[in-house]
Structure 1
Amino acid sequence: MASDPKTVAFIVDQAGGAAADVIARPMFGEYGLYRGRKLVALVCDDQLFVKPTAAGRALAPDAEEAPPYPGAKPSLLIDADRWDDAEWLGDLLQQTAAELPLPKPRSKKARGAESG
């Protein structure tokens, strides 16, 4: 079951606030949430899965770890009740992004295959 775009928009609005620094991109029928160039979370089946980091675990110590889809690495499953706290949610994604590395640049060969 794919996530409802309204759910994704609500999470993005809450997490990004006025700064609009959190964006959603469709990914395989679900959504990836990005802060800058970093993928920080996934929205799958209307559930929010945040990449696990030390800061994220400290901010959400009661969060269950679960895979967002079969075969995926476990992520922090953020309870929908926490989504209403925009300041907390924005802080969680900001601190998660701060701990994650920048994505590796794609090779020229890979980029050429995409445009062709």
Structure 2
Amino acid sequence: MATDKHFVDYVIEQAGLGSRLGCKKLFGEFALYLDGKVVAFACDNSLFIKPSRAVDTLAPQLPKGPPYPGAKDYPIADELLDDPEALRRLILETAALMPPPKAKKPPKGKARKPASEE
């Protein structure tokens, strides 16, 4: 079952992080990004937080399950949607532990001009 965009909008609203928290659609589901870092997935209208020490410290009671068939188990943070402060803190702490996004490669087929020619 694909995730409803209204669910993702609700998660973003509850987190209260404004434009810092965004999403991208992936195969009918969504990845949530904070400042360019993937911090969670919305799959089957549930919120799956990236596993990290932040979850172990702030929300060790969260149930776990795979966000999609064949995936490893992720903490399911649906219960935190009723506690915006806890959700916001977990997302912020998770993002702090994630590596920075990789630099995008230039599109193939286009030759780049050397800096001296620009």
- Normalised to the residue count of structure 2, the TM-score between the two structures is 0.83
Using the TM superposition, give the Cα deviation of residue 18 of structure 1 relative to its aligned residue in structure 2, in angstroms: 5.4
In structure 2, what is the Cα distance between the partners aligned to 1:47 and 1:70? 14
Higher mean displacement: 64-73 or 85-94: 64-73
Displacement of 1:65 after TM fit? 2.3
What count of residue pairs does the alignment treat as equivalent?
109
State the partner residue of 2:115: none
Question: Mind listing any 5+ residue stretches in structure 1 that lack a counterpart?
Answer: none
Show the counterpart of 2:108. Answer: 112
Q: Aligned-pair RMSD on alpha carbons?
A: 1.6
Task: Name the TM-score, length of structure 1 as normaliser.
Answer: 0.85
Moved over 6 A (4+): none
**1:32 positional shift:** 0.6
List runs of 5+ in structure 2 lacking aligned partners. Answer: 110-118
| Structure 1 match to 2:31 | 32
**Can you list the C-alpha shifts for 1:46-94, whole angstroms capped at 9, x where unaligned?**
011000110122111111222211122321111x332021111111111
Q: Radius of gyration: which is bigger?
A: 2
Aligned partner of 1:97 in structure 2 is 95
* Percent identity for Structure 1 against Structure 2: 39
Cα distance in 2 for residues equivalent to 1:63 and 1:47:
12
The equivalences for 1:46-57 within 5 A come to 46-57=45-56
CA–CA distance in structure 2, aligned partners of residues 12 and 57 of structure 1: 22
Q: CA deviation at 1:107?
A: 3.4
